[in-house]
């Protein structure tokens, strides 16, 4: 605010009258209040989980707020070893890494062909992919179970990887499709004139140019595959091959009093931390790709 003597000048230089400015402040205040409340609603459960992961089951039942008597990692050790989270974690890393690499490669290749080549059936394939994206996985789950059993891949990690790849493929192809269409033609033509074959053009020219798009899709695929639930629960029932989400579901379905709640919370933290780290590292990229998706 300015002094009374300068009011005239203020009115001339600023289009809004002072009352609207006060309104601005009020709106900003209300906005901050609302958003801070929501932030608390988001963060409080996570902090509470973290706190509880250090408590013994008895402490957890005694009071939801009390601090643990001693800060130690007993729950983490027991979750990692006796509850099998360590093993599930390793399985998840193997499955997600393999599936991610394969689906990014196959998805980029397929999208590239669909986006930049002209051949009969191109549109049909495109719409088939669209159908694969919109139909509920639940419809396919029963036959999928028998398809995998018939090829001997039921309850195995390779079986899970190949299913992950197949179901992440439509999304990958769609996103990369628009990306490859946006790349300029001149460069591919120049490569062709310089004598590069189709293979070299893709791997040495087009794929490197698509790197930003690949990164965004890879992040979304990572989150989606790491969090995948239905496919492993239905198709991977051998407990040695369980992934993390199944281990978590195991906690959920076991009878209430038999659960070691301390290690449940520790297991939750173990599952969440890698994804949160990936998210925080890539959050700019991720937010960028969300906006890209809507601008198209």
Residue 294's alpha-carbon distances to 36, 99, 223, 290, in angstroms, are: 27, 26, 19, 7
Please identify, using beta-carbon distances, which residue of 113 and 215 lies nearer to another protein: 113
Q: Cα(131)–Cα(91) distance, rounded to whole angstroms?
A: 30
Q: Does 12 sit near another protein (CB under 8 A)?
A: no
Q: Does 52 sit near another protein (CB under 8 A)?
A: yes
Question: Count residues contacting another protein (CB under 8 A)?
Answer: 114
Which of these segments, 71-79, 80-88, 93-101, 128-136, binds another protein (CB under 8 A)? 128-136
Q: Cα(198)–Cα(178) distance, rounded to whole angstroms?
A: 20
Query: Which residues in the 213-232 window bind another protein by CB under 8 A?
Result: 223, 226-227, 229-230
Positive or negative CA dihedral for 43, 270, 262, 56?
negative
Residue 17's alpha-carbon distances to 2, 12, 52, 238, in angstroms, are: 13, 10, 52, 70
Residue 149's alpha-carbon distances to 68, 153, 226, 246, in angstroms, are: 47, 6, 23, 20
Classify residue 213 by burial, with Cβ atoms within 10 Å: 0-12, 13-18, 19+: buried
Among 41, 71, 193, 211, binds another protein (CB under 8 A): 41
Please identify, using beta-carbon distances, which residue of 186 and 211 lies nearer to another protein: 186
Q: Which residues of 49-63 are buried (b: 16+ CB within 10 A; e: fewer)?
A: eebbbbbbbebbeee
Query: Which residues in the 138-167 window bind another protein by CB under 8 A?
Result: 138-147, 162-163, 165-167
Query: Which residues in the 170-199 window bind another protein by CB under 8 A?
Result: 170, 173-175, 177-178, 181, 185, 188-189, 197-199
Which of these segments, 55-63, 72-80, 93-101, 207-215, binds another protein (CB under 8 A)? 55-63
Query: Which residues in the 65-124 window bind another protein by CB under 8 A?
Result: 65, 106-107, 109-110, 112-119
In residues, how long is the chain?
Answer: 296
Which of these segments, 70-78, 79-87, 208-216, 240-248, binds another protein (CB under 8 A)? 240-248
Please identify, using beta-carbon distances, which residue of 87 and 268 lies nearer to another protein: 268
Among 34, 67, 90, 190, binds another protein (CB under 8 A): 34
Query: Which residues in the 251-290 window bind another protein by CB under 8 A?
Result: 251-253, 261, 264-265, 268, 271-272, 275-276, 278-280, 283, 286-287, 290
Q: Cα(80)–Cα(70) distance, rounded to whole angstroms?
A: 19
Distance in Å, CB of 27 to another protein, minimum = 6
């Amino acid at each position: 605010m300015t002094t009374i003597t300068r009011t005239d000048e203020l009115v001339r230089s600023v289009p809004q009258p002072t009352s609207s400015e006060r309104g601005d402040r009020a709106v900003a205040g209300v906005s901050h209040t609302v958003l801070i409340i929501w932030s608390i609603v988001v963060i409080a459960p996570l902090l509470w989980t973290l706190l509880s992961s250090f408590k013994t089951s008895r402490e957890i039942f005694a009071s939801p707020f009390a601090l643990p008597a001693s800060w130690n990692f007993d729950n983490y050790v027991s979750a990692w070893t006796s509850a099998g989270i360590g093993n599930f974690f390793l399985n998840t890393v193997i499955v997600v890494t393999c599936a991610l690499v394969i689906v990014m490669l196959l998805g980029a290749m397929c999208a590239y062909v669909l986006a930049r080549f002209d051949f009969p059936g191109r549109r049909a394939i495109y719409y088939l992919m669209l159908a694969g994206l919109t139909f509920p996985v639940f419809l396919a789950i029963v036959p999928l179970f028998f398809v995998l059993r018939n090829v001997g891949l039921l309850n195995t990690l390779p079986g899970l990887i190949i299913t992950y790849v197949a179901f992440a493929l439509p999304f990958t192809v769609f996103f990369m499709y628009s990306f490859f269409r946006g790349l300029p033609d001149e460069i591919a033509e120049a490569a062709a004139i310089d004598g590069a074959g189709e293979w070299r053009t893709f791997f040495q020219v087009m794929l490197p140019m698509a790197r930003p798009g690949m990164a965004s899709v890879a992040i979304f695929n990572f989150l989606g595959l790491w969090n995948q639930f239905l496919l492993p629960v239905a198709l991977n029932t051998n407990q040695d091959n369980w992934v993390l989400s199944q281990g978590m579901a195991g906690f959920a379905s076991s009878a209430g009093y038999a659960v070691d709640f301390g290690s449940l919370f520790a297991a939750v933290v173990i599952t969440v931390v890698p994804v949160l780290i990936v998210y925080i590292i890539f959050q700019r990229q991720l937010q960028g790709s969300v906006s890209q998706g809507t601008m198209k």
